[in-house]
Chains A and B, each alone.
Chain A
Amino acid sequence: EAGVAQSPRYKIIEKRQSVAFWCNPISGHATLYWYQQILGQGPKLLIQFQNNGVVDDSQLPKDRFSAERLKGVDSTLKIQPAKLEDSAVYLCASSLDIQVSTEAFFGQGTRLTVV
């Protein structure tokens, strides 16, 4: 079974530029999560989807971050414009379904450096 796929693995941009990350969850997984993990900290939930609907985006900085999950499968996370403090690893994870699954499967993440 293929795991969660993310791209790119690494990205370096200048502040005020925009960037987009892509995630392909495990086939059949209804729940998709985007996390931000700053070095030395735990993953911080940015947004959680159930199929193509948003379950929670309370910690997503909506003035600069946006995410979508068209057709309930792939998802993209965008930052525009980027700030220095956005330097982090962005992790995508998926679960079979919120209501029945207790395990989230993570991708390898995208390491973003904002200079």
Chain B
Amino acid sequence: GQSLEQPSEVTAVEGAIVQINCTYQTSGFYGLSWYQQHDGGAPTFLSYNGLDGLEETGRFSSFLSRSDSYGYLLLQELQMKDSASYFCAVRDRRADSWGKLQFGAGTQVVVTP
């Protein structure tokens, strides 16, 4: 089966940098995604890593190390609107379940003034 581990909560002040780590276990790995979800809202896609390395999208960056089964999401220049839950999600690749998309439990990011 699959399992994903990420911290339950992170608190930081406006303007700071936050790193959310995600470790995963899966029998077949295709890529790691990150989603943001505000209270009462739908998850929205932030980034995807299929290969090792860093992907940068504005204030958000995501990193993947396939050999370590590890990735992280980096939030820079934190703003109040970044207060939300952040989920890592693994897309697996196996003969019987190509592309199944499984989510972690989520990290609640609280941004304070």
Contact = CB atoms under 8 A, between A and B. Distances in A.
> Do they bind each other?
yes
Interface of A: 31, 33, 35, 41-45, 48, 50, 55-56, 58, 91, 93, 95, 98-99, 102-109
18 contacts: A31-B99, A41-B106, A42-B87, A42-B104, A43-B87, A44-B103, A45-B100, A56-B96, A91-B43, A93-B43, A98-B98, A99-B98, A102-B50, A102-B91, A103-B48, A105-B45, A106-B43, A108-B41
How large, as a class, is the contact surface on chain B?
A: 20 to 34
A55 B87 CA distance: 22
Given A104-B45, A108-B42, A45 B104 contact: no
B45 A48 contact: no
B10 interface: no
B57 interface: no
A42 B103 contact: yes
Interface of B: 31, 33, 41-45, 48, 50, 87, 91, 96-106
A55 B98 contact: yes
